[in-house]
């Protein structure tokens, strides 16, 4: 029941069947709930004590799905994940459990893709829209692919990703990469020369962001955003 309840696109007949099963299980099918996904094993989740009317689905070996009845339970799940350094994603609060599950799953995927700890779907919604828009220049994506096939190119892409995650903050980027600021300037200049886009110009940086997102999305099919 829980597995089918978390499906994003279900037809009318399936919805009717789920509603009947929910009634038999004494579950309010149309009560608004929030889906939280925590990346850990079911065994690790035993420490998280959930109250009645919250549901747990062991979706895979390291993916635990919590269907939460209130925001205090959501907060409890987030705190649990943070205290144990587990990745966590939170969907919207809605009657549509499949939609909330899809959103929480999208948070996990984008957090993993960009190696950044997002929590709520609203934080990644725009990124998801970019990834599903097909706006990226395919020629630039191909350049990124060729770059990533060389050791120095991989360093450049990692530098660009870190620079983007730090919103263009030079000092923070250099610190995170454990390099001198001048080395960072050199790498950004090299990206400019190789790709033809200047990381110090806003419009060019946005194009670099979109291209890198698209490239990473294609490179990691298990994380692919649809």
At residue 39, the 3 state secondary structure works out as coil
Output the average pLDDT for the chain.
93
DSSP state for residue 108 in the 8-state scheme: H
β strands within the chain, DSSP E: 33-38, 55-60, 63-68, 88-94
Nearest to 136 by CA among 59, 33, 214, 194: 214
The tokens describing 92, both together, are: 């919207």
Name all domains of the chain by residue range, CATH numbers in brackets. 2-131 (3.30.70.250), 138-223 (1.10.10.2840)
Q: What percentage of the chain has pLDDT greater than the value 70?
A: 100
Q: Is the pLDDT of residue 52 over 90?
A: no
pLDDT by residue (tens digit) across 55-82?
999 998 999 999 999 999 999 999 999 9
Q: What is the mean pLDDT of residues 166-175?
A: 96
Alpha helices in 25-147 (DSSP H): 71-83, 97-114, 121-131, 138-147
Q: Is the pLDDT of residue 134 over 90?
A: no
- Worst-scoring range by mean pLDDT, 82-86, 115-119, 133-137, 163-167? 133-137
Contacting residues for 112 by C-beta, under 8 A, at least 6 apart: 87, 220, 223
pLDDT by residue (tens digit) across 182-204?
999 999 999 999 999 999 999 99
pLDDT classification of 50: cutoffs 50, 70, 90? confident
Q: Are 207 and 137 in contact (CB under 8 A)?
A: yes
Q: What is the mean pLDDT of residues 83-107?
A: 97
Bridge partners for 34 per DSSP: 68, 93
pLDDT by residue (tens digit) across 21-37?
999 999 999 999 999 99
What was the pLDDT predicted at 226? 67
At residue 120, the 3 state secondary structure works out as strand
Nearest to 26 by CA among 55, 56, 6, 60: 55
Q: What percentage of the chain has pLDDT greater than the value 90?
A: 84
What was the pLDDT predicted at 163? 97
What was the pLDDT predicted at 110? 95
What was the pLDDT predicted at 77? 96
What was the pLDDT predicted at 10? 85
Look at the block and give the residue holding tokens 């978390």.
Answer: 6
pTM score, whole prediction: 0.89
Q: Are 226 and 102 in contact (CB under 8 A)?
A: no
């Amino acid at each position: 029941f829980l597995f089918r309840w978390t499906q994003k696109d279900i037809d009318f007949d399936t919805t009717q069947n789920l509603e009947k099963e929910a009634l038999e299980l004494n579950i309010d099918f149309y009560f608004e709930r929030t889906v939280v996904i925590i990346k850990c094993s079911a065994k690790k989740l035993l420490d998280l004590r959930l109250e009645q009317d919250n549901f747990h689905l062991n979706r895979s070996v390291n993916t635990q799905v919590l269907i939460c009845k209130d925001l205090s339970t959501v907060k409890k799940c987030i705190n649990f994940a943070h205290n144990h350094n587990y990745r966590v994603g939170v969907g919207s609060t809605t009657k549509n459990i499949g939609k909330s599950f899809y959103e929480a799953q999208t948070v996990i995927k984008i957090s993993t893709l960009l190696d950044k700890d997002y929590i709520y779907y609203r934080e990644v919604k725009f990124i998801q829209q970019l990834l599903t828009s097909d706006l990226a220049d395919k020629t630039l994506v191909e350049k990124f692919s060729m770059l990533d096939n060389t050791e120095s190119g991989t360093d450049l892409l990692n530098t660009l990703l870190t620079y983007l995650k730090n919103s263009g903050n030079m000092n923070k980027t250099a610190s995170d990469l454990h390099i001198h600021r001048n080395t960072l300037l050199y790498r950004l200049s090299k990206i400019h020369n190789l790709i033809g886009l200047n990381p110090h110009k806003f419009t060019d940086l946005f194009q670099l962001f979109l291209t890198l997102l698209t490239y990473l999305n294609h490179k990691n099919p298990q994380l692919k955003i649809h």
